[in-house]
Amino acid sequence: MTSDTRFFFASLEGLSTTDAELAVLPFPSLEVDPYRGLAPHLEVASARAAALSALVRGSARIVVASAEALLPRMSAPAVMLEASIQLTPGDETSPTLLGDRLLRAGFVHQDPVDAHGEFCIRGGIVDFFPASDDHPVRVEFIGDIVESLRHYDEATQRSIGRVDYAAVTPIRERFDDNDNPETLEDVPLPVSVFEYLPIGEHRLVTSEPEEVNTQLTTAYQRLAAAFEDAKTRGEAPRALEELVANPDDVAQRLRTAVHLNVLDYKTSAGDSVHVSCQPAIEYRGRLADWITDVRRAHTRDELVLFVATTGGSSKRAIELLTEHGLSAVMAGTHQPPSKPAVIVTVGQLSRGFRLADAGLQVYAEPDVFDEPRQTHDRRRPLPQVFLNNFRDLKVDDHVVHVEHGVGVFVGLRQLEVGGAVQEFMELQYAEATKLFVPVEQLDLIQKYTGGSRPSLDRLGGTTWERAKTRVKKAMRDMAEELLKLSAARRTIPGHAFGEDSHWQREFEDAFRYELTADQDAAVADIKHDMEAPTPMDRLLCGDVGYGKTEVAVRAAFKTVMEGKQVALLAPTTVLAFQHARTLTERFAAFPVTIELLSRFRTRQEQKTVISEVATGRVDIVVGTHRLLSRDVKFRDLGLLVVDEEQRFGVAHKERLKQLRRRVDVLTLTATPIPRTLNMSLVGIRDMSLIETPPKNRLAIQTSVTRFDRTLIAQAIRHEVERGGQVYFVHNRIESIYSIAELVTRLVPNVKVAVAHGQMSEDVLERCMVSFIDRKIDVLVTTTIIENGLDLPNANTLIINHADHFGLAQLYQLRGRIGRSDRRAYAYLLVPHADALSSVARKRLAAIREFSDLGSGFRVAALDLEIRGAGNLLGGEQSGHIEAIGFEMYIKLLEEMVSRLKGEEIFEERRAAVNLKIDLR
């Protein structure tokens, strides 16, 4: 048992590092109380379910729980066992019955399945993701018999291998009389988690017992207050003691525990154990001092162990030690070192230590290098999945037929043709004319995706052909211009950078997070361009917080290491300030001079910066469009990084065009660019896409609820108490100050500020910077936060009148939070359900459904992609996309680019053979 979440994760990591074969299970807090109308996130519920299952079955060895996790009551172990599901090939059941049991066990329906606690049914196939499995399970039925079980890869949907047995532990923790499965009769009363421990075969260990007791009391008091509030509103169907254990009872159980109190002094207590242990020195980049202390440890004949967080940092440590004449070997290698060596291993250890009596000196990576690397064990993130098939096609959706144009999908119809019954897709066109398309010709149909409702084409008319001809001409002009620019750039000599240096590798290894595969690929693309003898002009696309800045930072370091300068251009003063701060932190251990050129600096400071840029004393300068002024001269500019170029004016873009001819240019954008569009432009526009979220990113807990002052106060208090910050979005300037006053009354001890677009720029910037500097707890704001801000500490978002926002806008707003390894919460406040339009209800249901990272968020994503395509190709192309639909536009673009590149175009000839046999 640990006192708080921070120590909870530290204990998990440390115990796992001690013995890789030891199964260490987390039992986290639910993070929500039973009276706020929120269900725990599936990831949290799944982790708890896996731990409870292991305890019941006797397979658990170590379970780490936070104090608050011990309070909720749950169904007795016998009930949980009976609600579990076991499947083997040959079992008799049906997809429908299995789906019902999964629903009762707490699973949620989601297609496709890519997270713990999800399931879906597709005909005779049921997919589900058990809490204790690394991959989801696919069950194939023949009739009502289980034909096969297999694990499959949730990213590719491809089979990994057959399994002989699948066990499903309930995700839900309570089965009450009114909703328990029929097989559960005479349900025992709920119990505490201690009832899951094997009698006489367990040991309770409490770290910092006084802190644990304090946390128990604090958590219970918060739950009791929530119960009283709910009771006042008539919304407390269950008494508190039915849902939560009394902290005194929990404390009584903990009195039998082994208590761990780490003291810095000797005590005369009879049950104390004195260990001569000192924490490791925190070198924080002072590598010469560390090398000296390693040598001293060897002279004392001590065993020196270095715990790296990743394979890359372990190699870095070995290289560093070897360069200084010290022997270093990876743990587990069979070849013994020829002299005293540092043993290097990979694991998670937040702090090193020295056990003098045991002759052991342990260093953790955070002790030695600049910053601790964050590598929480998360399942591999999935790429964003955008609409690419008929899974989301519904009746009344608009579709595009390659030959007949835009129509409406009416449904599937069975018609008798030539004596055999066949299935057709029924489409309706203008003037109520109908077209029946055989299902074998579905490749001629695409779902229409565009920003507005299209007009229907007329069967046999000429409007569709004219629209395609018009689009092709504009597309040809655009593609030819891009090809000319690409060809011209390749004829201009540029600076060819050398291969990565040792310093480059050390700089990259010092990054505190592991790069995703997309980030790695983008870095490789950019370095390849920089090492070529022609100027780079690459577009890097990825959602805010997906790691574009780190990719650009590595390119900047490569530039500076060859004595050249870097300019980073941002569209707003606040963004420039954020970029400058990020770069300063990242380059802190290296002799690189970074300056900010914006209105945050006085006129005299700006003059000084401009002068030092001209003389070469400044290596990297960050600024707004002020950087593009004629008085800003560089001694030797090597790289220009442009953030969100589409937000600059025409004059600024012309200046950027001139710079592109001479230096390497890297453009960053957070508006999604469709991968299909990227593939279409291969060879005429250099692009890199980052589609995977960082590995330690958690999905956002999203809830749609009525405007409730108690809920608002609880949400703000919960975030501020854990050291975080809150966005409160209220998009009506005339009443925004009233909302800020309300927040101040509800939570008197928090610092509240207001930000909106009608404030003077100076006041707005000061407000934003104060929020960035964590001087403000709650920012009551309009939608001006929709783009750009990247604040890992802000992890609660409250949107008032969420029913007034479009789906894409809700998606963008929600993207402001959830950028750290801390759980984020989004509360969408709406009027009573009866007051909502059907469109608003669907919109809010969609954003709640697609809360997981990489889950697709299909409608909003498509809207944003089309906007991104317009930014990339020009506003005129957006209109053409609207006219013929996105998929048809991509198809025509691929053909046009292939023709301009001189590639042969193969035209399909369709053939149909009808045997007039009804195979059903």
Residue 385 located in a structural domain: no
Amino acid at 147: E
DSSP-derived secondary structure for 392-418: T--TT-EEEETTTEEEEEEEEEEEEET
Name the burial class of residue 888, with classes exposed (0-12), middle (13-18) and buried (19+) by CB atoms within 10 angstroms of its CB: buried
C-alpha pair distances (Å), 872 with each of 565, 644, 673: 27, 11, 8
Residue 254 located in a structural domain: no
Amino acid at 827: Y
Name the burial class of residue 165, with classes exposed (0-12), middle (13-18) and buried (19+) by CB atoms within 10 angstroms of its CB: exposed
- CA 616, CA 465: separation in Å to the nearest integer? 58
CB atoms within 10 A of CB 263: 9
Do 155 and 27 sit in the same domain of this protein?
Answer: no
C-alpha pair distances (Å), 552 with each of 423, 547, 711: 53, 9, 41
Residue 272 located in a structural domain: no
> Which pair of structure tokens corresponds to residue 494?
């540029």
> Which pair of structure tokens corresponds to residue 834?
């009866």
Contact 696, 567 (CB under 8 A): no
**Whether residue 95 has a cis bond before it, omega within 30° of 0:** no
Diameter of the chain by CA atoms? 98
Do 546 and 672 sit in the same domain of this protein?
Answer: yes
- CA 311, CA 888: separation in Å to the nearest integer? 45
Average pLDDT of adjacent 10-residue blocks, the chain of 920 residues: 64 59 76 65 79 82 84 84 87 91 86 83 89 87 90 79 87 65 52 81 78 82 80 71 81 75 60 73 80 89 85 80 85 63 82 84 81 42 36 73 88 75 84 85 74 79 84 76 68 86 86 83 93 88 80 96 93 84 88 88 89 94 88 91 75 69 83 51 70 68 82 89 91 93 93 89 83 92 76 91 77 78 84 61 57 41 52 57 68 72 64 60
Contacts of 691 (CB under 8 A, 6+ apart): 383, 384, 518, 542, 546, 675
Contacts of 34 (CB under 8 A, 6+ apart): 72, 223, 238, 243, 244
Residue 472 located in a structural domain: no
Residue after which a domain boundary falls, among 852, 880, 908: 852
Nearest to 426 by CA among 443, 439, 417: 439
Do 683 and 711 sit in the same domain of this protein?
Answer: no
CATH code of the domain containing 288 = 3.40.50.11140
Do 819 and 728 sit in the same domain of this protein?
Answer: yes
Beta bridge partners of 268: none
Contact 655, 579 (CB under 8 A): no
User: Which residue reads 């629209």 in tokens?
Assistant: 467
Do 208 and 226 sit in the same domain of this protein?
Answer: yes
Do 586 and 458 sit in the same domain of this protein?
Answer: no
Query: Which H or E element spans position 317?
Result: helix 311-323
Contact 168, 84 (CB under 8 A): yes
- CA 392, CA 774: separation in Å to the nearest integer? 42
* pTM exceeds cut of 0.75: no
pLDDT of residue 383: 33
pLDDT of residue 918: 57
CATH code of the domain containing 831 = 3.40.50.300
- CA 527, CA 510: separation in Å to the nearest integer? 19
The sign one gets for the Cα dihedral 315, 317, 320, 321 is negative
- CA 724, CA 793: separation in Å to the nearest integer? 5
Do 314 and 227 sit in the same domain of this protein?
Answer: no
- CA 681, CA 900: separation in Å to the nearest integer? 11
Residue after which a domain boundary falls, among 662, 690, 718: 690
Residue 26 located in a structural domain: yes
* Tens of pLDDT, residues 100-141: 999 888 888 887 787 788 899 988 899 999 887 888 999 999
> Which pair of structure tokens corresponds to residue 815?
């993207």
Query: Which H or E element spans position 597?
Result: strand 594-597
- CA 362, CA 353: separation in Å to the nearest integer? 5
> Which pair of structure tokens corresponds to residue 52?
């409870």
Nearest to 8 by CA among 60, 56, 39, 44: 44
Residue 861 located in a structural domain: no
Contact 184, 83 (CB under 8 A): yes
> Which pair of structure tokens corresponds to residue 778?
């709650």
* Tens of pLDDT, residues 306-352: 988 777 778 878 888 888 888 888 886 655 555 678 888 887 777 78
- CA 600, CA 689: separation in Å to the nearest integer? 32
Amino acid at 314: S
C-alpha pair distances (Å), 465 with each of 451, 471, 472, 885, 889: 21, 10, 11, 14, 13
Do 735 and 799 sit in the same domain of this protein?
Answer: yes
Residue 268 located in a structural domain: no
Do 226 and 150 sit in the same domain of this protein?
Answer: no
CATH code of the domain containing 150 = 3.30.2060.10
Instruction: Tell me how many domains the chain contains.
Output: 6
Write a three-state SS string for 143-181. CCEEEEEEEECCCCCCEEEECCCEEECCCCCCCCCCCCC
Residue after which a domain boundary falls, among 807, 826, 852: 852
Beta bridge partners of 810: none
Cα dihedral: 418, 423, 427, 432 (round 10) = 50
User: Which residue reads 């050398």 in tokens?
Assistant: 498
Contacts of 401 (CB under 8 A, 6+ apart): 407, 427, 435, 437, 444, 445
- Show the domain range for 762: 700-852
CATH code of the domain containing 439 = 2.40.10.170
> Which pair of structure tokens corresponds to residue 500?
């990565």
Residue 353 located in a structural domain: yes
Contact 768, 780 (CB under 8 A): no
Which alpha helices (DSSP H) does 161-286 contain, by range? 209-232, 240-243, 247-254
Contacts of 638 (CB under 8 A, 6+ apart): 495, 497, 559, 562, 564, 565, 566, 663, 664
Query: Which H or E element spans position 729?
Result: strand 725-729
Do 102 and 69 sit in the same domain of this protein?
Answer: no
pLDDT of residue 831: 77
Contact 825, 848 (CB under 8 A): no
Do 112 and 221 sit in the same domain of this protein?
Answer: no
Do 718 and 847 sit in the same domain of this protein?
Answer: yes
